[in-house]
Amino acid sequence: MRRAVAAFVATVAGLVVLLSFKTAGTKSVDRPVALSGTSAGTSDNGTPPSASANPGPAASPSPSATASPSASPTPRATTAAPTKTVTGGSFTVSEGFRTFGSVQVKVTLVNGKITKLQAVDYPNRDPRSSEISQYSIPVLAKEVLAAQGTNIDVVSGATYTSQAYAQSVQAALDSAKS
């Protein structure tokens, strides 16, 4: 009996120590580490983005964001249309070596401001993945709109989706600048 208690306590303690060491200190994806993504506009794994067939969870842009272009159009912006739509690269969502799918985000910019995000691809091959996508991607979109960048919080329970999402958005923003 004493041995059973010792084994239980040791196991729980070991688990807590291991998990604590693995727990993120900071909760934001400041600089998304390149997992296995490619640069903007290309798909790295041949999975065709299911944009047309499956519109997916798209963030509804906040009214204030859509209103912004008319508020103060930059005087010098004469060459290009103020609205620009860029699709970021496809980034794999993987936990360790396990791949759930990939995330690809279409970003709409109005005068350099992010106004709309649409996930054209996201993990949905198995029930758990699509469930995670269903709740995490709208949250991520809201976060990006609010932060106007990829300095966002990871959605709890959707760490890898969050990372891939931020990477795809960042790739889109990078290609929009160039």
Partner 1 sequence: MRQAIQRQQIAGPPLGRPQAPPAGPVGPALTSRLPSALLAAMAIGAMAVVLLWWHDTPQLHGFGDWLTNAGRITGLLAGYVVVVLLVLMARIPSFERHVGSDRLARWHSMGGRYTVNLAIAHTLLIIWGYAVSAHEGLVPQTGQLLTQYPDVLMATASLGLFVLVGAVSIRAARKRLRYETWYHLHFYTYLAIALSFSHEFSTGADFQANLKARVLWSAMYIGAAVVLLWYRFVVPVRTMLRHRMIVESVVHEGPGVYSVHVRGHHLLELATQPGQFFRWRFLTRDQWWQSHPYSLSAPPSDRLLRFTVKALGDHSGQLQRVRRGTKVFAEGPYGALTADRQTRRKTLLVAGGIGVTPLRTLFETLPGANGDLAFIYRANNARDLVFREELDTIARWRQASVNYLIGPSGAEGDPFVGRRLLGLVPDVHERDVYVCGPPAMVAVATAALRRIGVSRRHIHTESFEF
Interface positions with partner 1 (CB under 8 A): 3-4, 7-8, 11, 15, 18-19, 22-24, 27, 94-99, 126-128, 131-132, 135, 154-160
Closest to partner 1 by CB, 107 vs 154, is: 154
Residue 104, both tokens? 């690809």
The whole-angstrom separation of Cα 86 and Cα 163 is: 19
The whole-angstrom separation of Cα 103 and Cα 130 is: 12
User: C-beta of 131: minimal distance to partner 1 in Å?
Assistant: 5
Closest to partner 1 by CB, 61 vs 123, is: 123
Closest to partner 1 by CB, 76 vs 95, is: 95
Residue 13, both tokens? 């303690």
User: C-beta of 177: minimal distance to partner 1 in Å?
Assistant: 28
The whole-angstrom separation of Cα 122 and Cα 59 is: 14
Closest to partner 1 by CB, 11 vs 70, is: 11
Strands 83-87 and 28-29: unpaired
The whole-angstrom separation of Cα 91 and Cα 165 is: 7
CB distance 74 to 103 below 8 Å: no
Among 174, 124, 170, 164, smallest CA distance to 35 is for 164
The whole-angstrom separation of Cα 29 and Cα 9 is: 35
User: C-beta of 71: minimal distance to partner 1 in Å?
Assistant: 36
User: C-beta of 19: minimal distance to partner 1 in Å?
Assistant: 5
Closest to partner 1 by CB, 68 vs 94, is: 94
User: C-beta of 95: minimal distance to partner 1 in Å?
Assistant: 5
